[in-house]
Amino acid sequence: MPESQITGDLFLLSRETVNYAANQTASPEARLVERIETGDSEAFNELYRRFAPMVHGIALSRVPRAEADDLVQEVFISVHKNLSSLRDRDAVGPWLAKIARNRALNFYRSARPSDELNDEIAGSPNSKPEAFEILSVIRSMPDAYRETLVLRLVEGLTGPEIAAQTGMSADSVRVNLHRGMKMLREKLGIEVKK
């Protein structure tokens, strides 16, 4: 066998080994994106199940409750169409969060004035008025607190889950939750017993 062919075969073998090793060390999110790109429809369902609560929480913290579900659907339709534009497969959570925030901004840019039911009237018969009041107070808070509080209190994500899915540092999430809860208690007139 000629030396050039041996060298070429070694180079190809080396490249395959690197690709295999990279795939084995890829994050679960990166492997999920890879499965979606290869046409695995169950992988997209898994992506939806994993990240829909985060996207819903972001939507709920920024748009009227009646619009949040539609915004979640718009985000995932956009993701399905534009997944190839994701530069870092490990950053799928922060990418989804960014899309959700942008869709919420676009909602207000394109919103037409209309006579809509407010959240209190549109609530289900089983809804509690306190929940509407609390959500209204949360929506009046700064973005960082509003988003992390909704993800924690409404969507039930833990601090580490919020950090992992949004791309925020665990310390930032912890601080935002602590300060946000303190501000929420103050706005609601709840005293903390020491």
Is residue 8 packed enough to be buried (19+ CB in 10 Å), middle (13-18) or exposed (0-12)? exposed
pTM of the model: 0.69
Cα–Cα distance, 184 to 180 (Å, whole number): 6
Instruction: Say which residues have a Cβ less than 8 Å from residue 3's Cβ, sequence separation at least 6.
Output: none
Instruction: Say which residues have a Cβ less than 8 Å from residue 36's Cβ, sequence separation at least 6.
Output: 43, 44, 47, 83
Tell me what pLDDT residue 171 has.
Answer: 95
In the chain, what are the domains?
27-116 (1.10.1740.10), 119-194 (1.10.10.10)
Q: Which pLDDT band holds residue 134 (cuts at 50, 70, 90)? A: confident
Tell me the angle at which helices 65-82 and 41-60 cross, rounded to the nearest 10 degrees. Answer: 140
Please give the structure tokens belonging to residue 163.
């950090």
138-177: per-residue pLDDT in tens? 989 998 899 999 999 889 999 999 999 999 999 999 999 9
Please give the structure tokens belonging to residue 189.
């007139």
Tell me what pLDDT residue 72 has.
Answer: 96
- The pair phi, psi for residue 41, each rounded to 5°, is -70, -30
Tell me what pLDDT residue 3 has.
Answer: 54
Q: Which pLDDT band holds residue 9 (cuts at 50, 70, 90)? A: low
Cα–Cα distance, 124 to 6 (Å, whole number): 72
Please check whether residue 64 is in contact with residue 116, taking contact to mean a CB–CB distance below 8 angstroms.
yes
- The pair phi, psi for residue 2, each rounded to 5°, is -65, 150
Tallying the residues shown for the chain, one arrives at: 194
